[in-house]
Structure 1
């Protein structure tokens, strides 16, 4: 059985029991664990007779709108000013909360952080961080059990979705016996593994295939680091968005690469050019340190960041950093 951070878990339980009106948020560009844990936390609070506003700066992705409770999620416009407590899920740093958290309105409410990223900056009043958990949804299984909340029905489906998507259906290196144990509990409570996998990992639109056709011819491999770049004109040609790319699992399967990366050209809120970076590493290699040094975060096997600049200027030095990190890590093995 996993050795949990009992002091911090107890502090979360105390905060849940002591307060009534909650704002629950997760990170920008939400994935399955972000949405699953957000909806799961909402279910837990509702079953305890609490009030919960669920918010995401970027909304629920189309491929996750099937999840029970997805219709409850609001954007910044639906977030009020006064809450007894704010719970942040799956966010390693405050900038990941986006515009649904406003310091002027929400800064006086206690902030509870529930996360599993090793790069978490511990920015809450209560920080429950479990890097050995494969997903925040795994942590919420333990939280629900401690609170005496039934895992049946919607809660089981929401939480298993986060586990499935963050582990690529239990294929990542952090898939431990405890992860499989949590998944077993959720399946015993009604969550359907095959249905969730079919609607998430095995569910891609045709425009994703078109985008791969635009991007993959430009893939480059050097010093066992593999990378691709995505320009706005390539997205336009495929009539796709950056969220349609989903190339990480494809790139990380290439035998000749230990580390892979995708670089997507975007603009920030001031219309200045930025590059969104996503890194993946095979077992024995670590990309979280590079991401953290660039202002991002994540896990040893999967991390990311956003840096200012264009693809032409930003990508070469980052690739060089990844190559250097990979060489140092290979030497240490």
Structure 2
């Protein structure tokens, strides 16, 4: 597989993402003309679609790296299923169905009424989405924080990027439930900064996020254990598939909610974020086939640090507004530093081998 992948260019991996970009931007132009009827309005919608796509890509660098880390241990069958079914769920489920579902629950209306509201009363639709931001940020932030801390609190982890910090975290990983205790303490700390209904919504949503992570972990472990004795071909990878879907959903929460700051049109948001999701898929495939995570020693570390910071930012967003651009650039910057550190480490190793 590596021998074949070496002959593939980066552009070949990005083929479907580029095709989706052309189609998405064309749909943006058509939608802009239909909704505004003016050239300036059409160009505005086109620009928003492009910005949303770039924003989603910048927010999803770490998502692609974590996906690749999980996918490399899955069977080829389940890799294919995630990269086909998973992208359908990511694009249509999280970018279209999820925002509609929030409005259905929050406004107590039917799915058809929510769709009509999105098309005819976008201001009201955006208001409901904005009001739902706090519980979504608490849920997603807790889940992502557990994902990141579980990576660092691992006593078998022997490769450290920030040595003084990660070596201690790996050492304390032998204390059972240390990451859960840390997250619960942080939840209680943030909840004290809120009052009344907001405090209650934050705590309940965060606890549900923690429970969701634990349930996915338990289910994944159960399926992995079951496949050792029964139907390995059918079940090998289902637990990881579910884990990746919930993880992708948690990554998407921030982008979907934040997108309403740029546009109140559900369909404009779906097109822009859908383009970005296709690039995540392409980057994931490239990382898996090229073995990039193994080649760049600290790239994975940078991704999990970015996830940890994103989770804290999502908690902070329940108190103050933090622009999504800062979130995206921060994550991309961390991964860039990790890549640079990996390249330096590879060069130093190569020089050491040469000298010896």
TM-score w.r.t. length of structure 2: 0.22
Greater relative contact order (CA < 8 Å, ≥ 6 in sequence): 2
Bigger proportion of residues as helix:
2
Give the number of the structure whose alpha-carbon radius of gyration is greater. Answer: 2
Bigger proportion of residues as strand:
1
TM-score w.r.t. length of structure 1: 0.23
